[in-house]
A = this chain, B = another copy of it.
Amino acid sequence: MTIQIRIERTTAPKPRPQASELGFGKYFTDHMFIVDYAEGKGWHDARIVPYQPITLDPAAKVFHYGQTIFEGLKAYRTETGQIALFRPDMNMKRLNRSNDRMSIPAIEEELGLEALRQLVLIDKDWIPDAPETSLYVRPFVIATEAALGVSPSKQYQFIIIMSPVGSYYAEGIKPVSIYVESEYVRAVAGGVGHVKTAGNYAAGLKAQEGATEQGCAQVLWLDGVHRKYVEEVGSMNVFFRLGNKIVTPALTGSLLSGITRDSVIHLLRHWGLEVEERLISIDEVTQAQKDGSLKEMFGTGTAAVISPVGSLYWQGEKLTIGDGSTGELTLRVYETMTGIQTGRIEDPFGWRVALD
């Protein structure tokens, strides 16, 4: 590979937090990756430097017009001591789909992957080794040109930072309550809901506050046109087990094409199960809950991997899914996915990419 990444190592390594203190995205490692973009010059000056503040003009476009995208993935220390990423090529492909939608210049996939590899290896001692901990990796692009006209920026930075994160389930995998949102809408086809851009997340905060008030952990988003088709759970994709079929919302242009979602679909089909990607309305879900055919429901995403749903809160009613505990298939998916990620079990798909 001919990609040149300049490396400046820290002279003041930070103390590392205890596994019990980790949480999510609170601590950051000793180094970060940066590459600059300037119109006419392209992406240039790729470097790994000590983790440090970003200094921007207050007129930088990211502050005003939100031209920014991000990715999220995890690095694991496997049971054999290897360091591995989970399907990082998928993140780089999606990053460039996000870039395209947000009028940000593409980033060579090889550069992104090599940056991930070198950065994770430099800070490999930051990968926690307690069960179900990992190193969360956050690549992102920000528009840095200092100009207030509404037009694509002529300057960008692509940055990667990393955070050691704790087990999502401190006391074992546990079902959550979900609030079906009927007032707020996350995204609509023709918009940007299918890409990972900052504005999608800010737009969801208000609904999340409402869900929390109702004692729910997350929001279930319905589509913005008919206000009835299920889209996502919080910032996760969602799966329903209806009898022996598994149904997940089709990628209609307003929901994110999750890498965990794609992996779970592959895994279920690999097991010989029938998976339907299609429209599924909240009426179909609640009807299936009432007639007993809704056996299980779970969310998929990088942070939690698999998040079982124990109940739905819809139109003032609490609907329990199955017996309210983590379903049998949900648990099997969770164990298999985390097993593949951490090297606890064999990876028949070539998803685990060893870095060293």
Let me know if B197 and A24 touch, CB within 8 A: no
**Interface membership of chain A positions 162-181, coded 1 if the CB is closer than 8 angstroms to chain B and 0 otherwise:** 01000000000000000000
A63 at the interface (CB under 8 A from B): yes
- In the docked arrangement, what's the CA distance between A190 and B52, Å? 38
Known: A26-B147, A58-B159. A63 touches B205 (CB 8 A): no
Among residues of B, the one whose C-beta sits closest to the C-beta of A34 is: B58
Residues of B within 8 A of A28 (CB): 57-59, 146
Let me know if B198 and A66 touch, CB within 8 A: yes
Let me know if A54 and B51 touch, CB within 8 A: no
A237 at the interface (CB under 8 A from B): no
Sorted nearest first, the 6 A-B pairs with minimum C-beta distance are A199-B199, A25-B148, A66-B198, A185-B190, A65-B201, A66-B202
Binding stretch for chain B, among A3-11, A149-157, A244-252: A149-157
Residues of B within 8 A of A103 (CB): 202, 205-206, 209
A53 at the interface (CB under 8 A from B): yes
Among residues of B, the one whose C-beta sits closest to the C-beta of A195 is: B203
Beyond the given pairs A58-B159, A64-B201, A103-B206, 20 more chain A to chain B contacts, judged by CB atoms under 8 angstroms and listed by A's residue number, are A25-B147, A52-B58, A54-B63, A56-B56, A62-B63, A64-B70, A65-B198, A66-B197, A66-B200, A136-B148, A151-B205, A184-B190, A185-B189, A187-B191, A189-B224, A190-B227, A198-B198, A198-B199, A199-B199, A225-B225
- In the docked arrangement, what's the CA distance between A63 and B25, Å? 14
Interface of A with B (CB < 8 Å)?
A: 23-26, 28, 32, 51-60, 62-68, 70, 101-103, 136, 138, 140, 142, 146-152, 159, 161, 163, 183-192, 197-206, 208-209, 224-225, 227, 234-235
Minimum C-beta distance from A253 to chain B (A)? 10
- In the docked arrangement, what's the CA distance between A257 and B198, Å? 23
Let me know if A203 and B192 touch, CB within 8 A: yes
Let me know if A58 and B53 touch, CB within 8 A: yes
Let me know if A199 and B163 touch, CB within 8 A: no
Let me know if B59 and A68 touch, CB within 8 A: no
Among residues of B, the one whose C-beta sits closest to the C-beta of A203 is: B192
- In the docked arrangement, what's the CA distance between A64 and B184, Å? 21
- In the docked arrangement, what's the CA distance between A356 and B147, Å? 29
Residues of B within 8 A of A54 (CB): 55-58, 60, 63
Let me know if A188 and B224 touch, CB within 8 A: yes
Residues of B within 8 A of A198 (CB): 62-66, 198-199
